[in-house]
Amino acid sequence: MPAASQASPSRLAIPVIYGAGLCQGLAFVLIPALGNVLKSAPYSLSNGAYGTLFLPETLGAIGSAVVAGRVAERFGLAGLFRLGLLANLGALALLMGSALKAGSTLSYLLLLAETACLGMGFGLTLAAVNDAATLLFADRASAAVTVLNALIGGGTAISPLLLDVLAARGYWWAWPLLVFLGFALAAAASATIAGVSARGAKAPPRATRVPARLWWFAAAVAVYAICEGTFGSWASIFVHTDRGGSQAAGAWALSAFWGAMTLARVAFGLSTTWLAPRRVYALSPLAIAAAFVIVSFVHGVGALIALFAAAGVACSYFFPFSMSFAIEENSAERARASGLLVAALMLGEGIGSYALGPLQGPHRLTLSLIYRGSALWGVALFVIALALMRTSTSSARFAA
């Protein structure tokens, strides 16, 4: 009888955890997907104002990712989960509220508050659902996390398309409302994961210093995330504004990038038995650099959508395997390693998303030139990745 009662909450926790992950993916890409709406009347945001929206999101995500471990220690896994969901609910409420005052200073302030709350929700919720997935499926942790992140990535892929359908009819705010309801359902059922954290082993004492190699992994992830942010946050605007495609074409380019990344991550995750992970890891930045250069020269909308999908494949490998390698080398402090890399991811995302706005202002740089120059990030990432893999403390297991 006790065993049966323990199994029931766990079974109920599965759709709650994975459903929240899906909603997080749907919400995370809302501002990039709304790029053309926010730059048009009645919002009429400049490139600089649009890019600035990503700053509060970055700061919120970094801060929440850093403190997520301590929040879980104090309030438990369920408490961490609830706080993340509440932040997401606040973000979506602010986004919908901005539609009522579109074009005003208040509306822009609401958008800034929205991205800050979304960043905090992302950091807290992502930490909670990844931890919960590994605890629920301890014997298949890698597969559990892969499926979870595939759902998150799938959400980022389909959200722009569904939002574009509603935006074309003048009801874009209806999509954030539906995502809001999804988060609300997860929050209402959050008690189902209260017992999940009991499955985890007691964490070892926290070390006082972060290992130097872990800082290098964080630096690599930050550089990678600049590339991801440059592609993901500006894809729809690049296709629509710089290349003259329709808003729907811009949405398809953004969805192609995230969708291809999601599918490629699952494929790469299942291919480690015959693929040389460390060799591919070191070489994948060169594919990112090549994608930047090729995209910057192409003008056809159909070709651009295909190229953004190829860019998604190029970007798919680096982050999850950075996380895997870093956690393997710091198995005694998995939570700190994971939190540091998530913070680095959001730092790079913020730079890649925000910096492109000001660069297009007084410096008069086009997105084509920025994309072309961004290939240098891929080259720098190649150098860091190659050094990390050559000095790996566990290269025997993953050697080519």
Which segment of 4-8, 338-342, 379-383 scores lowest on mean pLDDT?
4-8
Kindly state whether residues 42 and 148 are assigned to the same domain.
yes
Does pLDDT of 173 surpass 60?
yes
Kindly state whether residues 279 and 382 are assigned to the same domain.
yes
Residue 186 in any domain: the answer is: yes
* Burial of 300: CB neighbours in 10 Å, binned 0-12, 13-18, 19+: exposed
Which of 19-33, 145-159, 259-273, 353-367 has maximum average pLDDT? 19-33
Kindly state whether residues 241 and 257 are assigned to the same domain.
yes
Residue 285 in any domain: the answer is: yes
Kindly state whether residues 197 and 175 are assigned to the same domain.
yes
Residue 40 in any domain: the answer is: yes
- Across residues 259-268, what is the average pLDDT? 85
Kindly state whether residues 57 and 145 are assigned to the same domain.
yes
What pLDDT, on a 0 to 100 scale, did the predictor assign at position 362? 57
Residues 6+ apart with CB under 8 A from 227: 288, 292, 315, 348, 352, 374, 377, 378, 381
Kindly state whether residues 264 and 364 are assigned to the same domain.
yes
- Across residues 166-173, what is the average pLDDT? 86
Question: Who has greater pLDDT, 139 or 176?
Answer: 176
Confidence tier at 396 by pLDDT (50, 70, 90) = very low
Q: In 3D, which of 150, 235, 176, 184 has the Cα closest to residue 26?
A: 176
Residue 3 in any domain: the answer is: no
Residue that finishes a domain, picked among 202, 229, 244 = 202
Please tell me the total count of domains within the chain: 2
Cβ atoms 38, 337 nearer than 8 A: no
Residue 4 in any domain: the answer is: no
d(CA 345, CA 7): 35
Does pLDDT of 2 surpass 60?
no
Q: How many CB atoms lie within 10 A of CB 133?
A: 25
Does pLDDT of 394 surpass 80?
no
Kindly state whether residues 135 and 15 are assigned to the same domain.
yes
Question: Who has greater pLDDT, 86 or 149?
Answer: 86
What pLDDT, on a 0 to 100 scale, did the predictor assign at position 240? 86
Question: What's the CATH number where 371 sits?
Answer: 1.20.1250.20
Residue that finishes a domain, picked among 179, 202, 225 = 202
Print the domain residue range for 229. 210-400
What pLDDT, on a 0 to 100 scale, did the predictor assign at position 101? 86
What would the DSSP string read from start to end of 301-362? HHHHHHHHHHHHHHHHTHHHHHHHHHHHHTGGGHHHHHHHHHHHHHHHHHHHHHTHHHHTTT
Confidence tier at 331 by pLDDT (50, 70, 90) = low
- Across residues 278-306, what is the average pLDDT? 93
What percent of the chain shows pLDDT beyond 70?
86
42 cis-preceded (ω within 30 degrees of 0) = yes
Residue 338 in any domain: the answer is: yes
User: pTM to 2 decimals?
Assistant: 0.74
What pLDDT, on a 0 to 100 scale, did the predictor assign at position 3? 41
Kindly state whether residues 42 and 69 are assigned to the same domain.
yes
Kindly state whether residues 103 and 235 are assigned to the same domain.
no
Residue that finishes a domain, picked among 150, 183, 202 = 202
Does pLDDT of 398 surpass 70?
no
Kindly state whether residues 268 and 390 are assigned to the same domain.
yes
Give residue-wise pLDDT tens across range 95-153: 999 988 888 999 999 999 999 999 999 988 988 887 787 778 777 665 677 678 778 88
What pLDDT, on a 0 to 100 scale, did the predictor assign at position 81? 93
153, 187, 223, 344 from 23: Cα distances, Å: 10, 12, 27, 22
**How high is the mean pLDDT of the chain?**
83
Residue 191 in any domain: the answer is: yes
Distance of CA 274 to the CA centre of its chain: 28
d(CA 92, CA 181): 10
Residue 2 in any domain: the answer is: no
**What are the start-end ranges of the H helices in 168-211?**
174-188
Kindly state whether residues 17 and 54 are assigned to the same domain.
yes
Kindly state whether residues 247 and 286 are assigned to the same domain.
yes
d(CA 316, CA 232): 12
